[in-house]
Structure 1
């Protein structure tokens, strides 16, 4: 009998690609990995991808659409509840819990990330810890916001969390008071940001920080350990996301990636062993970091050996990932995220008022939920 062939899709960055490709090459599986850009990873309909691939690297907000289309297999059915529980015990923050819906695990968290602060320490006298300090820094150094693609909404959401409110309510995406405060803060920072910054995704922002001196600080951007390498000429220092006041919750929106098996995948014992291998302690703490990956195991995040060559990247952002906000995962959320991000950008550019922007975000949010704005609700 011929060996079964498997095809996977991940995102085109060393962090998303290298460890998966190297592990497949070192295995006895006939497993090929294709890649698509970060924008495709963030917004391509999951049902389209699942129809063509056996293994898919996805973001947790895709789960609502994936389950609505019945295109993923649960790991509880594939490997059993005891294995899933062991993975949950080992995971950092909500990285595994974000892939649990209806009491079942639909993807394993190969990679953990959340929005944190990124700083060129050689260009900044002191890393800001509070949002008021971020605003003050922006008046004497180039501070950028992450606004490209869906990140305008993700940054807005994280600021709301720092202000004390998790978005995604039943009547509004976020309250008028908190939403206004968040957009006013973002608009103030955006008014002084470097000219090209709004067009750059997180990879672009961090790459620019390591290549020249046009960006000194980004208060919220998804952490990429590859840009913290202390051997770089211009390494980025990653620290906890800003808070409203000392001792309050850092506002951050969970990212990271999960590995899912689609319903077209005829999972063999060998393939499931390969997934277990990728999630094992030695691989999470050794093989994956050695291949530009960003592990999801808490033991890796607290490892002195892993932290030392990357300027304490993991330990320096651990509190933020532990407290990160998990986005809604209902059907239609990914489309809402794309549309609402454009509304946020319009508000920051002054094309529409803050009140109008909050109203449009609410309308889109409630439309996805199948509801309408309550009669006479104030905005």
Structure 2
């Protein structure tokens, strides 16, 4: 029997398993299956045009930078048209870090923060006994241990932005979220690029081509990468045989702001969808605090509510993944949410990656990054 609604998520146990298991028992008023989930790979999740997905799917799992294009293209519904105000207020208050804020534009919430993730540090515990606290300590560690950077796809840009967040924290300087005056102050950008360039000169062979999942898989399996200072956290690698240890991201100075760029996923409803009461109840149930602290982590998910991140049982089952990285997710930076941002992120990452790996000019790379970012000012901003 055909499901009433079609959903799209990303193809990893963290992205699909809880949604698929919850759908197995969900039915509409006539007793038919409520929702069927399709998947696309991580690369599709990071870069596929949201407008195209919204033409084919009723429910879409997305990342917050897609909101600029989604709103410009009238692709998704504001959730206050669908869910009761009291429920949305509870979600906003209960979300960890800026997870709910990242899906909020024009005072309206556009996606439910199902899954919270940000860039954190990860190490092989028998190779690195204690994590570096600062970027200077990361550089020193790289001289005696195999330290990798997350550079594939959009991640060279995301790592760069996060280091800028850490380095600029003391002076209140951060990357821009509105185009028109460049992406980051030149001195700050040059300092962040310099750190990445020194680390990039010593990264393990073949690691620059791996996305976060590939890096963590290799790290757990081969143990030839000892430490990564910034990679999107995946609780799936924090427990069981050969578990990795996840820690807060480095700061510029001990006790300073952990530089990190919020990721995670939200559940949006496309404008093509006509949600009935059964779908509303089903999706709201995924954000129920009890489900977030039991069903979601029990099915390879990574909760979006702070109550789950601080729960004793959830942490005991995950090698303290959540408590070990909580300060970082609470401090995380929210990316621009303007039309055209996703292609800019891909382009900017390619520019930085070439300069880092091929010995290109830092000044030229940063100037190109500013040019590409400011070109977004010609797009219709929704901020």
Structure 2 CA distance for aligned equivalents of residues 270 and 30 of structure 1: 8
1:253 offset after TM fit, Å?
0.2
Q: Which residue of 2 aligns with 1:192?
A: 202
Task: Give CA-to-partner distance per residue, 1:97-141, whole Å, 9 cap, x none.
Answer: 100111111100100000000000111132111111111111111
Q: Which residue of 2 aligns with 1:139?
A: 143
Alignment of 1:302-341 (within 5 A): 302-341=310-349
Task: Give CA-to-partner distance per residue, 1:270-320, whole Å, 9 cap, x none.
Answer: 000001111101110000000000001101000110111221100010010
**Equivalent in 247, 256, 260 of residue 239 of structure 1:** 247
1:4 offset after TM fit, Å?
6.5
Structure 2 CA distance for aligned equivalents of residues 126 and 38 of structure 1: 30
Structure 2 CA distance for aligned equivalents of residues 326 and 64 of structure 1: 13
Corresponding position: 1:273 with 2:277: no
Q: Which residue of 1 aligns with 2:104?
A: 100
Structure 1 CA distance for aligned equivalents of residues 299 and 317 of structure 2: 14
Question: Is the contact between residue 121 and residue 127 of structure 1 (CA under 8 Å) also seen in structure 2?
Answer: no
Q: Which runs of 5+ in 1 are unaligned?
A: 372-379
- Paired positions, count: 368
Corresponding position: 1:149 with 2:157: no
TM-score w.r.t. length of structure 1: 0.95
Q: Which residue of 2 aligns with 1:13?
A: 12
Q: Which runs of 5+ in 2 are unaligned?
A: 28-32
Q: Which residue of 1 aligns with 2:59?
A: 55
Q: Which residue of 2 aligns with 1:374?
A: none
Question: Is the contact between residue 114 and residue 320 of structure 1 (CA under 8 Å) also seen in structure 2?
Answer: yes
**Equivalent in 289, 293, 309 of residue 297 of structure 2:** 289
Task: Give CA-to-partner distance per residue, 1:307-347, whole Å, 9 cap, x none.
Answer: 11221100010010001000000101111000000000011
Structure 1 CA distance for aligned equivalents of residues 42 and 258 of structure 2: 25
Question: Is the contact between residue 261 and residue 334 of structure 2 (CA under 8 Å) also seen in structure 1?
Answer: yes
Alignment of 1:17-36 (within 5 A): 17-28=16-27, 29-36=33-40
Q: Which residue of 2 aligns with 1:345?
A: 353
**Equivalent in 200, 225, 228 of residue 235 of structure 2:** 225
What RMSD, in angstroms, separates the aligned Cα atoms of the two structures? 1.3
1:351 offset after TM fit, Å?
4.8
Alignment of 1:31-46 (within 5 A): 31-46=35-50
Task: Give CA-to-partner distance per residue, 1:239-288, whole Å, 9 cap, x none.
Answer: 00000101210000000000001011110000000011111011100000
Runs of 4+ in 1 over 6 A off after TM superposition: none
Structure 2 CA distance for aligned equivalents of residues 350 and 19 of structure 1: 41
Could you say what secondary structure the match of 1:173 adopts? coil
Structure 1 CA distance for aligned equivalents of residues 12 and 6 of structure 2: 18
